[in-house]
């Protein structure tokens, strides 16, 4: 894990008094909020009142990269689903309320946010289940003579677990490779590579276009995990000819805890895609109850069993928060928020107490900032006690996620100020770089 000294693009003079620094950056934050074209979107979420924010009593929520905030449209929609669609219409809602078509319909709502056309995304099951479908389905489409699956060596653990299980079932080997090395390591024996678009620890953005092209040049397929990029930045699945992709919906898409994940299959591959989990919902004629399985046409073959209607329709309502929003504008604000946070941390945090493990280069940064510091777990506990909600990863990484639909520049400035107070109150310790990793 590399570390980057905190050197803001618009540095505050190091000799300036703390009060003056705070006042200058707080004023700058208010100016940035006033000019922010996405600022009004915060009102689409059930966060805090304007009075609470003005008094400093509201929590600053910087953990949307783990669980997004509640969109205001969701409670009323779910109440209607429970009381009318389930309570009154009951079984009729599968047709009259559109329950049966919800996996594809919600998939089409997510598709523009990840650069996919209609009919290429289906929603249902967990990320892990969709990873299994994608990896095994990808191996089945790979050329004869393939002997290995490449796995992002920095991946979220579940991806590795699933890849190894899929490899055992298909008789292939798994080879971990750093994402930057995949282009050099792929061979004609590689069936596919499973890669995280954004590193969950560091927030580093991997090169989806370049890695996908390199895999295709060797005859391998590209399978991407979009959990930390869907809803945070443009992905361009169709434009970059990605083969298969999966992602969760409870982070930047704000679908709620445990909301169903999505599966993307490139249109030209759909008729060849053979799911390792053939269920009645993906049958060409589900209600025929035929003992012989015939897959449905198109993306519907990515379905398995009966969808989780309550979570699925909560997600559909949550996606209304994206109405009229361009993902390119979200990316612009994301980079501005993370730049400003790094600048504020550089101004407020005592020298040597924290180092960024998130790249400063915009082309290599997702929508989070990770800081290495000693005692990160205890530091985060204290931040949360003071109303700044982020999270940490062992052994020493503080993670701050920035959701442009509702995170403000004022949030960012206050969070960095509190972080500076917390770290400044700690006894002197060794360099923040010591033991960074994980």
DSSP one-letter code for 329? H
pLDDT of residue 17: 43
Catalytic residue among 251, 303, 333, 414: 251
Q: Which two tokens stand for residue 122?
A: 């289906």
Is residue 383 within 8 Å of 369, Cβ to Cβ?
no
Q: Which residues are within 8 A (CB) of 422 and not within 5 positions of it... i.e. 6 or more apart?
A: 379, 382, 383, 386
Residue 217 and residue 402: Cα distance in Å, rounded? 35
Is residue 396 within 8 Å of 373, Cβ to Cβ?
yes
Q: Does the annotation count 250 as an active-site position?
A: yes
CA 163, chain centre distance (Å): 20
Average pLDDT, the chain: 92
pLDDT digits (tens, 9 = 90+) for 242-252: 999 999 999 99
The sign of the dihedral angle between the CA atoms of 125, 126, 128, 134 is positive
Residue 304 and residue 323: Cα distance in Å, rounded? 29
pLDDT at position 54 over 70: no
pTM as predicted: 0.91
DSSP one-letter code for 10? S
* pLDDT band at 50; cut points 50, 70, 90: low
Q: How many CA atoms lie within 13 A of 91 on its CB side?
A: 0
pLDDT digits (tens, 9 = 90+) for 77-93: 999 999 999 999 999 99
pLDDT of residue 12: 39
Burial class (CB in 10 A: 0-12, 13-18, 19+), 189: middle
Q: Does the annotation count 399 as an active-site position?
A: yes
pLDDT at position 14 over 60: no
Is residue 424 within 8 Å of 431, Cβ to Cβ?
no
Q: Which two tokens stand for residue 216?
A: 């295709």
Mean pLDDT, residues 225-241: 98
Q: Does the annotation count 333 as an active-site position?
A: no
More confident residue, 429 or 344: 344
Mean pLDDT, residues 205-216: 98
* Nearest alpha-carbon partner for 32 in 268, 324, 335: 335
Q: Which two tokens stand for residue 87?
A: 């309570």
Query: Residue with structure tokens 């090169």?
Result: 207
Residue 163 and residue 218: Cα distance in Å, rounded? 20
pLDDT at position 427 over 90: no
Catalytic residue among 225, 243, 308, 339: 225
pLDDT of residue 429: 54
The sign of the dihedral angle between the CA atoms of 348, 349, 352, 355 is negative
In the chain, the domains with their CATH numbers are 18-69+326-424 (3.90.1150.10), 74-322 (3.40.640.10)
* Nearest alpha-carbon partner for 191 in 225, 159, 241, 143: 143
The three-point CA angle 197-199-201 to 5° equals 160
* pLDDT band at 51; cut points 50, 70, 90: low
Phi, psi (5° rounding) for residue 305?
Answer: -110, -165
Q: Which residues are within 8 A (CB) of 177 and not within 5 positions of it... i.e. 6 or more apart?
A: 150, 151, 152, 153, 185, 193
Q: Which two tokens stand for residue 399?
A: 């993670």
pLDDT of residue 56: 58
pLDDT of residue 57: 61
pLDDT at position 434 over 70: no
* Length of the chain, in residues: 438
Q: Which residues are within 8 A (CB) of 133 and not within 5 positions of it... i.e. 6 or more apart?
A: 125, 263, 275, 276, 277, 302, 304
Residue 12 and residue 10: Cα distance in Å, rounded? 7
Catalytic residue among 156, 161, 189, 364: 156
Residue 140 and residue 50: Cα distance in Å, rounded? 54
pLDDT at position 191 over 80: yes
Mean pLDDT, residues 214-238: 98
pLDDT digits (tens, 9 = 90+) for 145-175: 999 999 999 999 999 999 999 999 999 999 9
Q: Does the annotation count 406 as an active-site position?
A: no
Q: Where are the alpha helices (DSSP H) in 172-244?
A: 182-185, 208-217
Residue 16's alpha-carbon distances to 23, 28, 353, 421, 425, in angstroms, are 11, 16, 19, 16, 19
Q: Does the annotation count 225 as an active-site position?
A: yes
Is residue 410 within 8 Å of 44, Cβ to Cβ?
no
Catalytic residue among 45, 61, 132, 250: 250
pLDDT at position 110 over 50: yes
pLDDT digits (tens, 9 = 90+) for 268-298: 999 999 999 999 999 999 999 999 999 999 9
Q: How is the chain split among helix, strand and coil, in percent rounded to 5?
A: 45, 15, 40
* pLDDT band at 11; cut points 50, 70, 90: very low
pLDDT at position 21 over 80: no
* Nearest alpha-carbon partner for 322 in 193, 208, 418, 232: 232
pLDDT at position 10 over 80: no
Using only C-alpha atoms, the chain has a radius of gyration, in whole angstroms, of 23
Q: How many CA atoms lie within 13 A of 406 on its CB side?
A: 28
């Amino acid at each position: 894990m590399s570390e980057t000294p905190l050197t803001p693009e618009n540095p505050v003079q190091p000799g300036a008094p703390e009060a003056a620094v705070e006042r200058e950056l707080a004023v700058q934050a208010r100016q940035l909020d006033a000019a922010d074209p996405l600022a009004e979107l915060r009102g689409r979420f059930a966060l805090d009142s304007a009075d609470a924010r003005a008094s400093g009593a509201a929590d600053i929520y910087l953990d949307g990269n783990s669980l997004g905030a509640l969109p205001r449209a969701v409670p009323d929609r779910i109440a209607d689903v429970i009381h009318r669609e389930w309570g009154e219409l009951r079984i009729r809602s599968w047709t009259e309320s559109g329950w049966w078509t919800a996996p594809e319909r919600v998939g089409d709502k997510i598709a523009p946010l990840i650069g996919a056309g209609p009919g290429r995304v289906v929603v249902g099951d967990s990320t892990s289940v969709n990873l299994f479908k994608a990896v095994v389905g990808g191996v089945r489409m790979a050329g004869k003579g393939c002997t290995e699956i490449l796995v992002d060596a920095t991946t979220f653990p579940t991806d590795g677990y699933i890849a190894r299980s899929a490899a055992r079932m298909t008789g292939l080997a798994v080879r971990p490779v750093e994402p930057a090395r995949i282009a050099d390591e792929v061979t004609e024996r590689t069936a596919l590579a499973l890669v995280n678009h954004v590193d969950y620890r560091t927030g580093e953005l991997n090169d989806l276009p370049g890695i996908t092209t390199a895999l295709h040049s060797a005859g391998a397929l590209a399978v991407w995990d979009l959990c930390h990029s869907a809803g945070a930045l443009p992905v361009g699945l169709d434009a970059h000819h990605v083969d298969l992709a999966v992602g969760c919906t409870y982070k930047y898409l704000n679908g709620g805890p445990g909301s169903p994940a999505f599966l993307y299959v490139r249109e030209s591959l759909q008729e060849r895609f053979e799911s390792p989990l053939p269920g009645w919902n993906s049958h060409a004629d589900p209600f025929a109850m035929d003992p012989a399985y015939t897959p449905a046409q198109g993306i519907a073959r990515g379905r398995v069993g009966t969808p989780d209607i309550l979570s699925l329709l909560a997600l559909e309502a949550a996606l209304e928060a994206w109405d009229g929003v361009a993902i390119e504008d979200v990316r612009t604000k994301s980079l501005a928020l993370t730049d400003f946070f790094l600048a504020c941390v550089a101004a407020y945090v005592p020298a040597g107490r924290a180092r960024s493990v998130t790249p400063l280069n915009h082309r290599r940064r997702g929508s989070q900032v990770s800081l290495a510091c000693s005692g990160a777990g205890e530091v985060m506990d204290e931040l949360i006690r003071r109303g700044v909600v982020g999270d940490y990863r062992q052994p020493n990484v503080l993670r701050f996620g920035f959701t442009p639909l509702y995170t403000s520049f004022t949030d960012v400035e206050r969070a960095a100020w509190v972080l500076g107070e917390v770290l400044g109150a700690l006894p002197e310790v060794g360099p923040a770089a010591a033991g960074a990793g994980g």
